[in-house]
Amino acid sequence: MKKLLLFSMISVFAFQTEIKAQKKKSKKEKTEQTSTKATPKKSKTPKYSDFVTAKTKSDEGLFKVHNTNNKFIYEIPKSHLGKEMLLVTRIKEIPAGLGGGYVNAGSKINTQVVVWEEFQNKILLKVKSYNAVANDSLPIYKSVKVNNLEPIIYAFDVKTQNTDSTAVLVDVTKFFTSDIKAISALPARYRRTYKVKRLDASRSFINSIKSYPNNIEVVQDFTFDADAPPSNSRTNTITIRVNQSMIVLPEDKMMPRLYDKRVGYFSLGNVDYSSEALKADDKRYIRRWRLEPKDIDAYNRGELVEPIKPIVYYLDPGTPDKLKKYIKQGVDDWAKVFETAGFKNAIMAKYAPTKEEDPEFSMEDVRYSSIRYVASTTRNATGPSVSDPRTGEILESDIIWYHNHLRSYRNRYLLETGAANPSARTLDTPAEEIGEMMRMVISHEVGHALGLPHNMAASYAYPVDSLRSGKFTQKMGIAATIMDYARYNYIAQPGDENIRFVRQLGPYDHYSINWGYRKIPSAKTPEQEVKTLDKWIEEKADDPIYRFGAQRFDPSAQTEGIGNDQVKASTYGVKNLKIVAKNLPKWTSDQTNNYEDLSELYGELLGVWSRYVGHVTGNIGGIYEFNKKPVQEGLVYEPVAREKQKEAMIWLQKNAFATQDWLLDPKILANIDESGYTNTMLRLQTRQLYSLLNTSKLERMIDAEIINPKSYDALSMIRDLRTGIFSEANYTKNVDVFRRNLQKSLIDRMGTLLNSKETKNSDISSILRGELQSLNFQLTIAKNRGVNRITKYHYRDCMAKIKEILDAK
């Protein structure tokens, strides 16, 4: 009974509790139902329509680019994941002074191969390196792969897929508005120089993103806080406009051509671990366009054949009408050169289509190479190109011409040819002659865009006196290639007739284009081409016209020089320059009734004189470089003959270190500046002095004695330099202010070298110490001669300087 009663009580309690719970639950369910009806539950999976709305502006191309209120989405086809693309970072617009004047708008900052890869629910943007490679069929390929892990630039969240699931959507807004070092246009050295602190996101934007069939172009406006900006210093700000080009690389790779330093080509290299040798091979490939003949059989028979895809440059619509034909000619001139390589109509320039003719045409589209005309005070032109790092294939090129560049050419035309060329003696150079200069500058830049670097040895191929011949210069020009810095014929003298004064394409251009671009039908690999390529070089090896030389320590490969004898060429050049200096006011200020042009041209005249002097200086301690393979006769490196170096020293003492009164005309100086003449002359003379007393040059001279014991040795050179510059100390002769400054500069330079760590344990310090002691003895006697007081004070000052140097620990 007690059990029954207890069970009944428990049952009643449980029943009541259940009723209460049901009432509570019913009330809760009702509330939830009411709430659900008021706010429908959202789906957790984002839809395509969440990102591409009626307000979205979409751009079709390599990837679809969607822009919704400046939020940018890439719609990446899954078929493009893993494909290799080239990411090129360029400066589109720069603040004044960035890079110290050595960086221009359009300058390329970085080029890297990237791939977009899927990982979990992210898309990774990775950099792929071709510095180390191996055939993927070999076991070592796996080792190369694991020892060259590819860095991840950025990881994007996958927002969603497109409607048919063939593409993924990622938001790139943050990527292109953040300071991502891998794609920054401010390298670390600029950040240090300008004391850059941070990117200011509030003043940084995506200017535009445009998608084309083979590339995507992003323009970014970045503003950085900087304590030492290159210009507008009070703003503590650097604003820079950056262009990011992402270009899909060809899946059918062009067969590369192996680089040979005997022929000038830009190149790219890698380390190939596929070699059977006992070490990895360093391989270099030349950079060139892909030219494939339409009719290979006709091409192999030696007929001229058009390429499947010619090289076409489009002229900037902003180019002044009066200049267009000259720019077009500068491109079209190369068509004849390509005929040497078997191609007809291989390269041409076209005028850009109007919006009506082609509304989709854009100069940013990688399918179109261009010649940009930039409204800038920069005096320059450049010929950059973008190439496939796997093969060297040039994919596109944008040549840049800066508006003020023609002024430089007008000025130098007057200064370098005015003595022998009456039409150059004016500030209003005839339009056809200005046009011819521009045409040749464009040809030079096109040469770069074709893969050709400067060939400074080409001007050394022609005898000096041949450049005074009208018949020779009209046919051969003034250098063997347009790729030399041989702009004008400054050798021709008054009275020489029918002279060509402006450079032109030459025989080396035909030779190098044939070597780099002619198809070799029997070769299926780059290695199989080498035998034929070597033969083409060796057939021309003894002719200086076909020699390639880089500007380093070789006096036969100097910038801005012409002729095969620098002493003789510079003698002609200085002789002409003296005529120009005498007539400079007559040709400038007397015509304009102001001194601005006179001041500008006088400053540039000093620069021209300094270049002529520098060509001669290069002979002293110079080493000729004749690149060759062991099957060719002769040495690769040959010191300049002792007699030639001695001749150069004598010339320098007379034409550089002696006071050049012809450069110091009071009618010019007193009308362009109130002071600074002595410092200007000292700076120019010191440039040559420092070039002679250069550690690398002196070490070369010491080493040259091993190759040729009769060479011009460092001791003889420094002694000749010292006795020439202090020649007055041997006589009772006053020293003028220019010579006093130069003599002190010589002592200072010798002291700097003597007390530097570089020369401490070499013969250089012994020679310098000995020559300073000899000079001190010489001045001890000279200071007591009957010279004027400033000269005596000067000698005593020089002796004090020497004592201080020799006493230094």
Q: Which of these, 698, 688, 604, lies nearest to 651 by C-alpha position?
A: 688
Average pLDDT (612-636) is: 95
Which pLDDT belongs to residue 375? 60
Gap between the Cα atoms of 644 and 566, Å rounded = 10
Q: Around Cβ 729, how many Cβ atoms within 10 Å?
A: 22
Q: Which residue has the tokens 């521009």?
A: 438
Lowest mean pLDDT among 120-124, 144-148, 625-629, 796-800: 144-148
315 neighbors 304 (Cβ within 8 angstroms): no
Outline where 107-203 has alpha helix (H). Answer: 140-146, 173-177, 188-193
Average pLDDT (84-111) is: 80
Which pLDDT belongs to residue 592? 94
156 neighbors 176 (Cβ within 8 angstroms): no
Q: Which of these, 80, 289, 97, 295, lies nearest to 167 by C-alpha position?
A: 80
**Which segment, 2-16, 100-114, 350-364, is predicted with the most confidence on average?**
350-364
Gap between the Cα atoms of 615 and 570, Å rounded = 7
Predicted structure pTM score: 0.86
Phi first, then psi, for residue 208 (nearest 5°) are -165, 155
In angstroms, what CA-CA distances link 381 with 409, 442, 482?
12, 8, 14
Which pLDDT belongs to residue 139? 55
Q: Which of these, 409, 483, 478, lies nearest to 449 by C-alpha position?
A: 483
Confidence of residue 17 (pLDDT cuts 50, 70, 90): very low
Average pLDDT (278-294) is: 83
482 neighbors 445 (Cβ within 8 angstroms): no
For residue 747, is pLDDT > 90? yes
Dump pLDDT digits (tens) for 361-420: 877 777 889 888 766 666 666 777 889 988 999 999 888 877 667 888 899 999 999 999
